A and B are shown apart, each in its own frame.
Chain A
Amino acid sequence: MTIKIAQLSCGTEYSSVQYEIEKAARSVGAKIVYPDVSSADIDEAVKRFGFEPRSPQLKLMIARAVRLADGKYDADAVFITTCFRCAEAALVRNELRRFVQENTRLPVVTYSFTERLKASQLLTRMEALVTIVTRKELLSRERQTGITVGLDSGSSTTKAVVMENNKIIGKDWTPSGDVVASATSVLENALKMAGVEMKQVEAIGTTGYGRFTLGEHFHAKLVQEELTVNSKGAVWLADRQRGEATIIDIGGMDNKAITVRDGVPDNFTMGGICAGASGRFLEMTAKRLKVEVTELGAIADRGDWRNAKMNSYCSVFGIQDLVTTLGEGKRFEDVAAAACHSVAEQVYEQQLQEIDVRHPIIQVGGTSLISGLVTAVGEILGEAPIVPPDSQYIGAVGGALLSSGFL
């Protein structure tokens, strides 16, 4: 079955990225399609939508979205994409995303591209769209059964979880090095903690950047991108499997903001301009302050970000700010708080503007253990996020939970 992803876009063909988009879709068994519209549909759709852009291609995007909303065109998912730095298109992109979500049950992903876009950057997003469509039944799984293992090979850390009958019985994490070696080591430790032999494990699920390598090495039953797997892990850990929620995962290299309905994502954004807006910046800050990253949160909680202005939009400039601030003799506590605030601000400006935040907000991933960052996210959003226990293990838990669906 080929999954049809409806593309609503402006500028892709003239930015040399249309081929990359189609390549990414093809590689996950999907096909890019454009909902058919006639010129008469366009005027009517724009009037109905109520936003009249000057650029005709954006009007065409609107007409195509209306076609989907009216159920007159058959597609399985929606990909909305426009040129980076185009203000008019950014407004239309976000409002159309909202419109499609309000009027359909189709999963949506938005993206703003530059001419440097490569298929690999879109792969996880496309794969997630396909997973949501093709694995509906698996994703509706709420209980883990048997003995299963989840392996999450992230850019910063590698995590393993052993689960038995809906309980975590073993877990471990380590900084990522060699993909297989890191995973083998955390898996062995998690098994030891669980008191389980490898031969007793009934299924393995892998996720994260190294998922394909690990999937092959460990003969995993489930090899799946982190957007859907992390969402399942997050709602299971937070015990919010039903209803709506927003999941914020500030990762080592990129950030994810996902809205879910009954644990299944229906909209997500991923990425960031630069490592400046991710956990990596906090690692760099901790190193400069000569403290462990695990201690940074508590230090930040004792400070006030207002006393040490910092901007992590770019990690290079962010570190320059840090050095300058320290040079001015600011307190470590204030600097740590400012670093956390800056990362939270970037996530708010870059990721959370592309989704409609739903309640509750669940913050997960390794960085959710940095309490100062959670405080900063709560302050910016005006609502304290829920940080479930074992929040750094979402991917591994999701992997163990979903792989039990294959038993």
Chain B
Amino acid sequence: MKVFIDPPNSLVLFDLVERFGHEPLSTMAAIQERVDNIEVDMPPMNVTLDDVVKGLKYAGVEVPSGVRGRLALWGPLIEAADAAIVMDDCPYSFGCVGCERSNLMVKYLIKRRGIPTLHVSYPEDDAQAIAFVAKAKEFLEGLK
């Protein structure tokens, strides 16, 4: 099954989703599609004006362009997902997840899709890490 991960660039979530037998839907894949497109020359990411305009599907023109550009990448992934796994209270989120407003909207879009979703908290100690992994495993294996 296709599982959207949030943060969409998380190494830990990407790895766990694959490890327990599913296909993670991540920012990396969305960006790879663009950077490998030799017909576009808009480095570094080949995110184009068209992408930002497509973002209007998720947020109005009064919303900053950076939010719309991000949603244009993630929106279609959320739409294609069969399930989602969300790490809450992340103390870090840089790079593509650098905008808090976009991150809030992603969580909302997942909720609105109504797909099976697991919320796990960022583990702060070993006991929490065990709970984190156990819940993720249970959820992902249950999707089969």
CB of A27, distance to nearest CB on chain B (Å) = 15
CB of B100, distance to nearest CB on chain A (Å) = 4
Instruction: Specify which of B64, B67, B68, B94 lies most central, judged by the most chain A CB atoms within 10 Å of its CB.
Output: B64
Instruction: Specify which of B65, B69, B96, B101 lies most central, judged by the most chain A CB atoms within 10 Å of its CB.
Output: B65
B49-61 CB mask vs A (1 if < 8 Å, else 0) is: 1011100000000
A199 interface contact, C-beta 8 A: no
Q: A56-B92, A56-B94, A57-B94 are in contact. Are A14 and B44 (CB under 8 A)?
A: no
A13 interface contact, C-beta 8 A: yes
Smallest CB gap from B73: residue in A? A14
Instruction: Specify which of B41, B70, B96, B100 lies most central, judged by the most chain A CB atoms within 10 Å of its CB.
Output: B100
A83 interface contact, C-beta 8 A: yes
A116 interface contact, C-beta 8 A: yes
Cβ–Cβ < 8 Å partners of B47 in chain A: 13-16
A3-32 CB mask vs B (1 if < 8 Å, else 0) is: 000000011111111110010000000000
CB of B101, distance to nearest CB on chain A (Å) = 7
Question: Among the listed A10, A16, A22, A53, which residue makes an inter-chain contact with B48, where contact means beta carbons less than 8 Å apart?
Answer: A16
Contact A83 B43 (CB under 8 A): no
Q: A14-B47, A83-B64 are in contact. Are A115 and B69 (CB under 8 A)?
A: yes
Contact A19 B43 (CB under 8 A): yes
The answer for the CA separation of A40 and B125 in the assembled complex, in Å, is 19
The answer for the CA separation of A39 and B94 in the assembled complex, in Å, is 10
* Residues B16-66 near A (CB distance < 8 A): 41-45, 47-49, 51-53, 62-66
Question: Among the listed A14, A18, A85, which residue makes an inter-chain contact with B62, where contact means beta carbons less than 8 Å apart?
Answer: A85
B10 interface contact, C-beta 8 A: no
Counting from the closest, the 4 A-B pairs by CB-CB distance are A11-B66, A57-B98, A14-B69, A83-B64
| B interface, CB within 8 angstroms of A | 41-45, 47-49, 51-53, 62-70, 73, 92-94, 96-101
Q: In the complex, given contacts A13-B69, A15-B64, A113-B65, what are 19 additional A-B residue pairs having Cβ atoms less than 8 angstroms apart?
A: A10-B98, A11-B64, A11-B65, A13-B47, A14-B66, A14-B67, A15-B47, A15-B68, A15-B69, A16-B48, A16-B49, A16-B65, A19-B42, A57-B99, A82-B66, A83-B66, A86-B64, A89-B64, A114-B65
